[in-house]
Chains A and B, each alone.
Chain A
Amino acid sequence: MHKKKFLLALAAAMAAAALSGVSFGQAAAGPFTQRQLEAGRQAYGDDCAQCHNPDLSGSNDAPQLAGDAFMGAWKSRTTQALYNKISKTMPSGQGGSLDDATYTAITAYILHANGASAGSAAFTADTAAGIGAIASGKVPDDVLHPPTMSAFARATAGERVATPGSFMLPGKFGLIFEGHIQNYEPVTEAMMNNPPDGDWLMFRRNYQGWSFSPLKQINTANVGSLQLKWMWSLPENGTMEITPLVHSGVLFIWGTGNTIQALDAKSGELLWENRLGPAPRRPGPGPSTEETRSMGLWGNNIYVNTPFGMVYALDARSGKEVWKTSIVDNKPGIGWSTGGVIIIKGHVLVGMTNCGRPKTDDHCYISAYDAASGKRDWKFVTTALTGQPGGDSWGDLPDNMRKGGETWIAGTYDPELNTTYWGTAQAKPWRRDLRGSSSGATDYANSTIALDPETGKMKWWFQHAPGESLDLDEVFERVLIDHGEQKTLMTIGKAGILWKLDRVTGKFIDARETVFQNVWDGIDLKTGTPRYRKDIVDQKVEQWLSSCPGPEGGHDWQATSYHQPTDTLIIPLSQSCVFMLGNGSQTYFEMPGSEGNMGRLSAYRTADLKPLWSFQQRAPFLTSVVSTAGNVAFVGDFDRVFRAVDVTSGKTLWKTRLGTTVQGFPISFSVDGKQYIAVTTALGGGSPEMKPGTMLTEVHRPPNGYNLFVFGLPDD
């Protein structure tokens, strides 16, 4: 916070205190003053609430900062340790970027949020009171119900909010450049079932989630001569992990601030731009709750799911809004959405994240909307409630405490079986000791769910990680692969287990460990049921736990590619572990056996899960993989390298170094008979960036560089 801002906050605090009858001169035992508390409230709203939520309840990678979970991690430590933690590490990825007064004020506000009282002595960097001695963990009402609507709260309520003065944030929203694209070919169901070779119509290119392009102009013999054809700078700040889409020679891309742009796929010329907003909450890399990973095409429209729970239909030819709807019925706080969409038979299916507040009737769900009107067709709650199949797996927990099962990666679809497949994340809170579900499996969390896309009716579910307790999601891509008559589904979660299921019945077929893991003692290879390590089963709030892999995930959102010609699944893997005292205190270390290599790219034959090749490197991979019929696979990493490898050997055939982390979902497409590879660079990225970022002290990246790069072969 700048000095001027801080003084304004102080003045506001003094005025508020005068109105409430608080005297600044009164003596009290607390280690901070009322003025610091109020300044901290303002600073928290500006710099922390984006990730930790306005009521300090936490979200995804950002731990809860008020209440039992916070006290469990911090009550035996000092206020100085808390100050050090905040000032050295926050805001995420920008530790030390605020001034001392702001850090002390934020620390004061967090102590207040845990029941500590303001007093006469100012809090300083040297104040070292025992947190357990001054804070009760009881969260005051003014924290649970912030008295004013912050800009962040207004943004989460759907308002198009910009932060004046922020670095490179767009200040104007709406259709700022209307397009007039001629000869745009409407996207049909036939195209969706069998995408044209040169197009990329959906998240993983085909309904089966392969991320495989049938194009073969770029191949193992000539990929070494790949060169940049054009690039496009995207809005800075926030998080971006988007999949560009290509159809009718137009490339569609999402940028931070929910800026949707259509570009000439051959030349990089802007064709239209619609800034849906809101802007990222603050400058610099943002949390993973501020993005979307996929869009969808259908008819003449492009469908965009924005993180605050909106779905927009825009005219793909002009960028004009056709309709918009709120998947959370415009109710703030119910949940967000970052996975994007899959469009099936005129239904726009979308999942949720950071959803389902405790002690409310809200739950996470998958919902579907009519592509023509935006009217909701159905919704499916992804936690098993009382009386439902699997409902007894939550023990005695009442329905209003059964949370989680988020769907932050879009599903896949089998047209023949008319079934859509989705992965779900953990039950929430993700620690079983805090959740209160005891040893219960907590269906349908961390499962594969098979649904009828037209009704939302569940056909089956298979739970990969019953009773998960370490922030190890199983939410990622579901890849549909046939072996003769056998119809399989393959997926891999944070624990690094490659799963193979029968996608007709949901029965377990096989599993392979792809990286070191120590959370499960074993997996029953008849049923697919894992057995947790005993200290995880007996987990207590104040107990340090080791988890390999850690929340970075052995595998995370950086999706696989299925190279169909060779039956090869190419998997980006990460190798780091965590030693944690709850979510509030996580420390990271290299995975045993990894020799410090946090990145691993591995290939498996899917027929029998045989490992084919693997290579390791220090930097983890921060893109999904795209493979092509030219037997080349492309992948990018944390340390700015974008490379092409031979799908049969893993040998690097070409690489280049870009401006910042190569992050997102690369694609391949063609225009006028020429094949291209497109990839984005960006920051943010959630756990796969944050966790290894702490360990990769030798890697230095600029705080900007959100770009789209398009590569191709030299012109004849």
Chain B
Amino acid sequence: MTSKILARAVFAALVIAAPAFAADFQASLGPMPLDDETKAVIAGRGEATAASDGKTLTVKGAFHGLPSNATEAHIFLSTVAGMPGKQILDLEVTKATSGTIAGNVKLTSAQATALRTGKLYIQINSEKAPDFYPWGPKGTLWGWLFPAHETVGQDVPQQDHWFIPQIDTPSR
């Protein structure tokens, strides 16, 4: 088994293992804003799930394919999904190009509301793509925590209604 295949197998096992707790939220981690200059250092994918009782938040996830080693992972608060926000909570992260993220953090009431309304996101930074370039905020991977929803594979049609964040996430 090559190292690439092994990494994928580990990743798949982690993702499969993640829903062992009752996940209320899920996030797909993809590259942060990039252009032709920066796409060589901003890349990779990940998945995360999260559960919350309204006071604490438990996050589990995995990532792979970073161009350089991960350095830190956090939860950020944004005013609306798709917009960079401010760092509010820390997560543990494997300091490698693939690995896991995890955390069990306390939430304030405002943060719990933000979680419920789709305004919290997970961000992973890496050695070559820190969270701040000389201009503009950047990082490596990010993904918003949305209510758990059904997903289907590539090319597989989903009938009737399908998940659209602003419609299927509570607004208040």
Cβ-defined contact, B165 with A516, below 8 A:
yes
Q: Which residues of A contact B156 (CB under 8 A)?
A: 615
Q: Which residues of A contact B135 (CB under 8 A)?
A: 76-77, 81, 581, 585
A697 within 8 A of B: yes
User: With A88-B36, A88-B37, A513-B164 in contact, do A592 and B136 touch (Cβ < 8 Å)?
Assistant: no
Smallest beta-carbon distance A139→chain B, Å? 23
Q: Which residues of A contact B160 (CB under 8 A)?
A: 610-613
B2 within 8 A of A: no
Cβ-defined contact, A593 with B35, below 8 A:
no
Within 8 A of A (CB), among B55-86: 79-84
> How far does the alpha carbon of A513 sit from the alpha carbon of B134 in the complex, in Å?
36
Cβ-defined contact, B33 with A589, below 8 A:
yes
Within 8 A of B (CB), among A49-106: 76-78, 81, 84-85, 88-89, 95
28 contacts between A and B (CB under 8 A): A76-B135, A84-B37, A85-B37, A513-B164, A513-B166, A514-B164, A516-B166, A546-B83, A577-B82, A581-B136, A587-B138, A589-B31, A589-B32, A589-B34, A589-B142, A591-B82, A592-B81, A593-B81, A593-B163, A594-B28, A595-B28, A595-B30, A612-B160, A613-B158, A617-B155, A649-B157, A694-B36, A697-B43
Closest residue of chain A to B32 (Cβ to Cβ) is A589
Q: Which of A513, A581, A593 contacts B144 (CB 8 A)?
A: A593
Closest residue of chain B to A591 (Cβ to Cβ) is B82
Cβ-defined contact, A89 with B166, below 8 A:
no
What is A's interface to B at a CB cutoff of 8 Å? Answer: 76-78, 81, 84-85, 88-89, 95, 513-518, 533, 535, 544, 546, 548, 577-579, 581, 585-597, 610-618, 645, 649-652, 694-695, 697
> How far does the alpha carbon of A367 sit from the alpha carbon of B156 in the complex, in Å?
44
List 11 additional contacts besides A84-B37, A548-B81, A594-B28; criterion CB under 8 Å: A76-B135, A517-B166, A546-B83, A577-B82, A579-B84, A588-B34, A592-B144, A592-B146, A613-B159, A651-B157, A697-B43
Cβ-defined contact, B37 with A89, below 8 A:
yes
User: With A95-B36, A589-B34, A695-B31 in contact, do A611 and B82 touch (Cβ < 8 Å)?
Assistant: no
Q: Which 10 A-B pairs have the closest CB atoms?
A: A650-B157, A587-B33, A89-B36, A579-B33, A593-B165, A546-B83, A548-B82, A590-B30, A595-B28, A615-B157
B108 within 8 A of A: no
Closest residue of chain A to B146 (Cβ to Cβ) is A593
Q: Which residues of B contact A513 (CB under 8 A)?
A: 164, 166-167
Closest residue of chain A to B38 (Cβ to Cβ) is A587
Q: Which residues of B contact A593 (CB under 8 A)?
A: 28, 81, 144, 146, 163-165
B109 within 8 A of A: no
Smallest beta-carbon distance B38→chain A, Å? 7
User: With A89-B36, A587-B35, A587-B136 in contact, do A518 and B80 touch (Cβ < 8 Å)?
Assistant: yes
Cβ-defined contact, A613 with B134, below 8 A:
no
Q: Which residues of A contact B3 (CB under 8 A)?
A: none
Q: Which residues of A contact B151 (CB under 8 A)?
A: 595
Q: Which residues of B contact A585 (CB under 8 A)?
A: 35, 135-136
> How far does the alpha carbon of A514 sit from the alpha carbon of B32 in the complex, in Å?
23
Closest residue of chain B to A693 (Cβ to Cβ) is B36
Smallest beta-carbon distance B131→chain A, Å? 13
User: With A77-B135, A579-B84, A581-B136 in contact, do A615 and B36 touch (Cβ < 8 Å)?
Assistant: no
Q: Which residues of A contact B82 (CB under 8 A)?
A: 516, 518, 546, 548, 577, 589, 591-592
Q: Which residues of A contact B37 (CB under 8 A)?
A: 84-85, 88-89
Q: Which of A514, A517, A614 contacts B158 (CB 8 A)?
A: A614
Q: Is the interface of A mostly helix, strand, loop or mixed?
A: mixed
Q: Is the interface of B mostly helix, strand, loop or mixed?
A: loop
Q: Which residues of A contact B38 (CB under 8 A)?
A: 587
Smallest beta-carbon distance A583→chain B, Å? 13
> How far does the alpha carbon of A633 sit from the alpha carbon of B36 in the complex, in Å?
34
Q: Which residues of A contact B54 (CB under 8 A)?
A: none
Smallest beta-carbon distance B162→chain A, Å? 5
> How far does the alpha carbon of A579 sit from the alpha carbon of B32 in the complex, in Å?
10
> How far does the alpha carbon of A694 sit from the alpha carbon of B28 in the complex, in Å?
19
Q: Which residues of B contact A95 (CB under 8 A)?
A: 36
Q: Which of B39, B45, B158, B166 contacts A518 (CB 8 A)?
A: B166
Q: Which residues of B contact A595 (CB under 8 A)?
A: 28, 30, 151
Cβ-defined contact, A612 with B164, below 8 A:
no
What is B's interface to A at a CB cutoff of 8 Å? Answer: 28, 30-39, 43, 45, 79-84, 134-138, 142-144, 146, 151-152, 154-167
Q: Which of A544, A546, A590, A615 contacts B31 (CB 8 A)?
A: A590
Cβ-defined contact, B137 with A544, below 8 A:
yes
Smallest beta-carbon distance B27→chain A, Å? 9
Cβ-defined contact, A697 with B39, below 8 A:
yes
Smallest beta-carbon distance A538→chain B, Å? 13
> How far does the alpha carbon of A76 sit from the alpha carbon of B162 in the complex, in Å?
43
Cβ-defined contact, B31 with A649, below 8 A:
no
Smallest beta-carbon distance A91→chain B, Å? 12
Cβ-defined contact, A649 with B159, below 8 A:
yes
> How far does the alpha carbon of A535 sit from the alpha carbon of B34 in the complex, in Å?
22
Q: Which residues of A contact B30 (CB under 8 A)?
A: 589-590, 595-596
Cβ-defined contact, B83 with A518, below 8 A:
yes
Q: Which of A516, A588, A596 contacts B81 (CB 8 A)?
A: A516
Cβ-defined contact, B28 with A596, below 8 A:
yes
Closest residue of chain A to B83 (Cβ to Cβ) is A546
User: With A516-B164, A518-B82, A592-B144 in contact, do A694 and B31 touch (Cβ < 8 Å)?
Assistant: no
> How far does the alpha carbon of A115 sit from the alpha carbon of B107 in the complex, in Å?
52
Pick the most buried of A77, A81, A585, A695: most chain B CB atoms within 10 A of its CB.
A695
User: With A613-B158, A617-B154 in contact, do A588 and B164 touch (Cβ < 8 Å)?
Assistant: no
> How far does the alpha carbon of A617 sit from the alpha carbon of B158 in the complex, in Å?
12
Smallest beta-carbon distance A228→chain B, Å? 22
> How far does the alpha carbon of A639 sit from the alpha carbon of B129 in the complex, in Å?
28
Smallest beta-carbon distance A223→chain B, Å? 16
Cβ-defined contact, A518 with B81, below 8 A:
yes
Smallest beta-carbon distance B109→chain A, Å? 23
Q: Which residues of B contact A89 (CB under 8 A)?
A: 35-37
Cβ-defined contact, A618 with B154, below 8 A:
yes
Closest residue of chain A to B168 (Cβ to Cβ) is A593
> How far does the alpha carbon of A546 sit from the alpha carbon of B136 in the complex, in Å?
12
Closest residue of chain A to B137 (Cβ to Cβ) is A544
Q: Which residues of B contact A84 (CB under 8 A)?
A: 37
Q: Which residues of A contact B159 (CB under 8 A)?
A: 612-613, 649-650
Smallest beta-carbon distance B133→chain A, Å? 9
> How far does the alpha carbon of A589 sit from the alpha carbon of B39 in the complex, in Å?
11
Smallest beta-carbon distance B147→chain A, Å? 10
> How far does the alpha carbon of A515 sit from the alpha carbon of B28 in the complex, in Å?
16
> How far does the alpha carbon of A654 sit from the alpha carbon of B135 in the complex, in Å?
47
Q: Which residues of B contact A85 (CB under 8 A)?
A: 35, 37
Q: Which residues of B contact A617 (CB under 8 A)?
A: 154-155
Cβ-defined contact, A611 with B162, below 8 A:
yes
Q: Which residues of B contact A77 (CB under 8 A)?
A: 134-135
> How far does the alpha carbon of A77 sit from the alpha carbon of B135 in the complex, in Å?
7
> How far does the alpha carbon of A88 sit from the alpha carbon of B157 in the complex, in Å?
38
Cβ-defined contact, B35 with A694, below 8 A:
yes
Cβ-defined contact, B84 with A546, below 8 A:
yes
> How far does the alpha carbon of A548 sit from the alpha carbon of B162 in the complex, in Å?
18
Q: Which residues of B contact A588 (CB under 8 A)?
A: 33-35
Closest residue of chain A to B118 (Cβ to Cβ) is A592
> How far does the alpha carbon of A618 sit from the alpha carbon of B154 in the complex, in Å?
7
Q: Which residues of A contact B165 (CB under 8 A)?
A: 516, 592-593
Q: Which residues of B contact A614 (CB under 8 A)?
A: 157-158, 162
Q: Which residues of B contact A695 (CB under 8 A)?
A: 31, 34, 39
Closest residue of chain B to A600 (Cβ to Cβ) is B162
Cβ-defined contact, A579 with B158, below 8 A:
no
Q: Which residues of B contact A76 (CB under 8 A)?
A: 135
User: With A546-B84, A577-B82, A579-B84 in contact, do A694 and B162 touch (Cβ < 8 Å)?
Assistant: no
Cβ-defined contact, B158 with A615, below 8 A:
yes
> How far does the alpha carbon of A695 sit from the alpha carbon of B44 in the complex, in Å?
11
> How far does the alpha carbon of A588 sit from the alpha carbon of B79 in the complex, in Å?
19
